[in-house]
């Protein structure tokens, strides 16, 4: 069997069907003597924001949800772009699934290549409001009293090398910004530690999709900015290429998980 197989005909991840997926997973894991054959690779992706009708992160979830990588199964969940709930949502997902590895996906407007983040900071400073109108600009803490920063626990360099070897442009990044992408990584690293989970965790930033850039070009006023937060900077990468790169990332990531030999 291919290392990447579709399970139960599912293609789309969402918080709505999260409980059903967990029951399916637990059934699939029932083996002789109760021995656990699979671990969960938890992948979250932010929904569209900044007035955009779509997002590469949400579209990629449907490409990998319920697939297997070696002995591990991907659980992909779309997350709200909402500051007030990001910490609670991430904690709940990690406590529920207890993943062997965690990857969050998000759009990096204007970024020309794929980006593996290595760190998060305990600060909020939004260039654009979340989908519920919240826009802190004062550098307040994500977690009052929490550490100033948390380091991603994946080997970003190895992931980038694997994607480049596969023909996909990627780079290591040491700054995930001060918006919800950074907050998601910060909260996820804290939740993994709180749950006693030692698996790799990090954030994967994505470029625009070509169809998004086409819309910006079609809709832009003469001489005006072409895209939210990224005046005139409109590189893109196809969904097919982003999906293939994500698969390479996940295949490589399982080797970084505890006991990761498969």
Among 205, 211, 251, 255, the one annotated catalytic = 205
CB 253 within 8 A of CB 159: yes
- 223: region left, alpha or beta (phi > 0 left; psi from -120 to 50 alpha): left
User: Is position 66 annotated as part of the catalytic site?
Assistant: no
**How far, in Å, are 5, 19, 70, 234 from residue 66 at the CA level?**
8, 13, 13, 32
Residues 102/72, Cβ–Cβ less than 8 Å: no
Please confirm, yes or no, whether 181 is among the known catalytic residues.
yes
| Contact between residue 16 and residue 32 where contact means Cβ atoms under 8 Å apart | no
Catalytic residue among 66, 97, 111, 117: 117
Q: Is 117 a catalytic residue?
A: yes
From the candidates 66, 116, 181, 187, give the one annotated as an active-site residue. Answer: 181
Distance (Å, whole) CA 31 – CA 20: 20
Q: Which residue has the tokens 């969402």?
A: 14
Catalytic site positions: 117, 181, 205
């Amino acid at each position: 069997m291919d290392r990447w197989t579709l399970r139960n005909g599912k293609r789309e991840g969402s918080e709505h069907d999260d409980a059903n997926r967990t029951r399916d997973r637990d059934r699939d894991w029932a083996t002789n003597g109760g021995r656990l054959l699979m671990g969960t690779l938890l992948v979250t992706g932010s929904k569209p924001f900044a007035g955009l009708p779509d997002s590469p992160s949400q579209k990629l979830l449907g490409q990998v949800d319920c697939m297997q990588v070696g002995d591990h199964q991907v659980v992909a969940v779309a997350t709200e772009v909402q500051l007030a709930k990001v910490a609670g949502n991430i904690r709940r997902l990690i406590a529920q699934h207890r993943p062997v590895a965690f990857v969050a996906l998000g759009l990096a407007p204007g970024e020309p290549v794929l980006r593996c983040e290595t760190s998060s900071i305990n600060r909020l400073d939004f260039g654009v409001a979340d989908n519920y109108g919240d826009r802190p600009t004062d550098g307040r803490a994500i977690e009052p009293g929490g550490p100033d920063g948390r380091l991603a626990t994946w080997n970003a360099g190895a992931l980038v090398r694997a994607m480049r070897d596969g023909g996909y442009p990627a780079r290591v990044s040491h700054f995930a910004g001060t918006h919800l992408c950074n907050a998601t990584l910060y909260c996820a690293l804290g939740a993994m530690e709180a749950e006693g989970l030692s698996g790799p965790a990090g954030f994967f930033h994505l470029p625009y999709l070509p169809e998004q850039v086409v819309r910006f070009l079609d809709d832009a006023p003469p001489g005006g900015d072409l895209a939210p937060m990224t005046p005139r900077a409109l590189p893109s990468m196809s969904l097919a290429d982003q999906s293939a790169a994500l698969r390479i990332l996940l295949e490589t990531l399982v080797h970084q998980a505890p006991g990761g030999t498969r």
